[in-house]
Amino acid sequence: MDNDVFYRILEEAIGQLPADRRAMLYRPCAEACVRNGVLVEMRRQFEECGCDLDRQYAKYGRTPFFFADVIEPGRVYEIGYPRCLCPQVGAGFVTVPTHCECSRQSILFVLQELLPGRMIEVEPLETVLAGGSRCRFRVTVG
């Protein structure tokens, strides 16, 4: 069995699991992916902006790799990527939308690190692997 078939079968099987189990499986990889790069930069931006997501997203919310919009100040945001940035997808190992849980978990992890103790929900709105033109997530901070 070649790698692309193996990963497709694996991802499809993961997609059959309950949402909480999928989250547990993807969380360690999501954390490892963003811990030493994305999280460091997001934390720097967050602190520079007075630990205020609205200010951070107003200042840094448009790059070639990331976008963020304030939908409801202090509470609801839409964030995402203009294209799929996952190296596993880029390498051709992953082609099923189940894998987008990894992106959801990475966003959740970063925001939980920046806003400890706050209730944070991340809902996928559109992903490239699901046929979308970009990857978008709705974030609600409680």
pLDDT digits (tens, 9 = 90+) for 73-100: 999 999 999 999 999 899 888 889 999 9
More confident residue, 12 or 128: 128
- Residue 131, pLDDT > 80, answer yes
pLDDT confidence of residue 101: 96
Taking the model in full, what pTM does it have? 0.93
pLDDT band at 5 (very low <50, low <70, confident <90, very high): confident
| Res. 132 pLDDT band, cuts 50 70 90 | very high
pLDDT of residue 114: 98
8-46 residue pLDDT tens: 888 889 999 999 999 999 999 999 999 999 999 999 999
CA distance to 34, 47, 51, 100, per residue, from 95 (Å): 21, 36, 36, 10
Q: Determine the pLDDT at residue 52.
A: 98
Q: How far is CA 46 from the centre of its chain?
A: 17
Q: Scanning the structure block, which residue is given the tokens 């919009």?
A: 69
| Token pair of 5 as six digits | 């078939």
Q: How many CB atoms are closer than 10 A to CB 110?
A: 23
